[in-house]
Structure 1
Amino acid sequence: MTEKIKEHNISEAEWEVMRIVWTLGATHTGDIIKQLQAKKDWSESTIKTLMGRLVKKGLLKTRKDGRRFVYTATVTENQMMVQVTTEMMSHMCDMHKGQMLIEILHGIPLSQDDIAIMEQELAQKAKTAPKMVDCNCLSVHDC
């Protein structure tokens, strides 16, 4: 399991900033602004505000490089996605999680390699999977 991320509750706009930093790696403020302004109609001050929030949340860190700041993500994109998804799924009935994953699979792009790895993981999981997953919503009632 990955280490708990300090603050995973981020806005859609903050996700956009993080995606740029994850893609570019250690990058200067100006590069982030340039990339986001090419995608969004955001002002420089809006972008800097978003970056500052992400620093406060512990998801970005900064260092000085001469007169400029360099931003680096403190978590990987994969760590963030796993934690957010795991947290979301913790609020759902265990009995329905499998069907939800199947429905999600219908709408996302997957490579041949992704599918092969999933097949391997599912084959391993099938060895110890129960015939049916119990409801965990109520103590005496099935969903």
Structure 2
Amino acid sequence: MKQVSISDAEWQVMNIIWDGQPLAAQEIVSRLSGQAEWAPQTIKTMLHRLVKKEVLTFEEQGNRYVYRSRVKRSACIKQASRAFLDRVFSSEPAPLLAHFMQHTKLSAEEIAELRRILDDKER
């Protein structure tokens, strides 16, 4: 995936699309109506921006535009995580992990999963 910056608002749109694609513009507007107080035209502008950024693709079906993601959610998460790590923690993962471990309530299952991941990294 090429390097693309997705705004917080665009993440909301993309999450709707990843969860239900393909989706017509009107379906996207409808699903976002419960999450954000955006006018339908605002959402359509974001869809257009995401197409220009090559994150979305669309096809015309009669008088409707139907959207699909061109990128996987996991690729966007990986890219956004890397950008956050670089920007906030100077590319150092240990301080990031320490911060989240100290300031986040974790279940026993989550702690066990983190231990498993760290053990795998150690090997």
Task: Give the TM-score band, short-chain normalised.
Answer: 0.7 to 0.9
**Structure with max Cα Rg:** 1
Q: Answer yes or no: is the 8 Å Cα contact 2:57–2:69 preserved in 1.
A: yes
Query: 1:22-76: CA deviations, max 9, x gaps?
Result: 1112111111000112222111111100110011001111012222111011112
CA RMSD of aligned residues (A): 2.4
* Regions of 4+ moved over 6 Å: 108-111
Matches within 5 A, 1:81-96: 81-91=77-87, 92-93=89-90, 96=92
2:28 is the counterpart of 1:67: no
The reply on whether 1:15 has 2:5 as its aligned counterpart is: no
Q: What number of residue pairs does the alignment pair up?
A: 121
Residue from 102, 107, 115 that aligns with 2:104: 107
Q: Which structure 2 residues correspond to residues 28-47 of structure 1 after superposition, within 5 A? A: 28-47=24-43
* Structure 2 unaligned residues grouped into runs of 5+: none
Shift, 1:103, TM fit? 2.1
Gaps of 5+ in 1: 128-143
Q: Summarize deviations over 1:105-139 as a string: whole Å, max 9, x none.
A: 44377793x65554333112123xxxxxxxxxxxx
1:5 paired with 2:2, answer: yes
Name the residue aligned to 2:44.
48
TM-score calculated relative to the size of structure 2: 0.81
Q: Give aligned-pair identity as a percent.
A: 28
| Cα distance in 1 between the residues matched to 2:51 and 2:78 | 20
CA contact (8 A) 2:85 2:96 kept: no
- In the superposition, the TM-score normalised over structure 1's length comes to 0.71
C-alpha separation between the residues in 2 aligned to 1:111 and 1:25? 34
Change (3 A) 1:115 1:36: same
